[in-house]
Amino acid sequence: MIVAIVPAAGRSERMGKPKLILPIHGETVIARVVTTLRQGGIPRVVVVAPPSETPGAAILANEATSAGAVVVVPKERPLDMRGSFQLGLEQLLEGPSPTAIMLTPADSPGITSALVARVLAEARNAPGSIIIPTFLGRRGHPIVIPWGLALQVSSLPLGAGINALMAFQASRILEIAVDEPGTLDDLDTPDDYQRWVGSKKASLARQAELSSPAEELRQSEVLD
């Protein structure tokens, strides 16, 4: 089984307000990401939220839970994505071990269920590899990291992020070219948000996705 971890405990400093609870075409950013992962074939999604006293944290946790995620609420905010990732791993240690982790930043509204399904299929075909989608030669998200390798994050040098793990294990990286610019998309600034809110194309694409063959693809594959 491949499980997703969604680090969602960031400060949204460049946005100036909690970005993951902002609405995009009728759904919050965090709900959009969780729903996309679930529709793409991920059976379990773990969202690492900010501490409960953080502005917007309760809404974020409720939105993620309603979309089908398991939410981890730490007592203190993780320092970075690596810290959030490790909290997600700790949650997963309590049950049967997954075969791999699909790491998906919470501020990735451009990912689609078709992209998730494609990355998931590649991960099943190459279970020992780190799967990274690329668009026009640039690496994007979501990425899949084998479980045993993901557990090595805690042994990285102080201050080293998850990218350091990729550098140490470069021979295991399998890049897959995708025709989805959303793999590169993130939501950091007010301009990013306005682009999404004002994008009729994004809205139409989302509506089409909800009734697309991606769901049939997901159901046709047997989960690990």
- Of the chain, the end-to-end C-alpha distance in Å amounts to 4
How far from the centroid of its chain's Cα atoms is residue 73's Cα? 17
- The reported pTM is 0.86
| b/e code 74-99 from CB counts within 10 Å (16+ = b) | beebbeebbbbbbbbbebbeeeeebe
CA 154 to each of CA 5, 49, 83: distance values in angstroms, whole numbers, following the listed order: 15, 19, 9
* pLDDT score, position 155: 87
Query: Hey, what domains does the chain have and what are their CATH numbers?
Result: 2-199 (3.90.550.10)
Q: Write the pLDDT tens digit of every residue in 143-199.
A: 999 999 999 998 888 888 888 888 889 999 999 999 999 999 989 999 999 988 886
pLDDT of residue 168: 86
**Are residues 62 and 30 in contact, defined by beta-carbon separation less than 8 angstroms?**
no
* Residue range 111-145, pLDDT digits in tens: 999 999 999 999 999 999 999 999 999 999 999 99
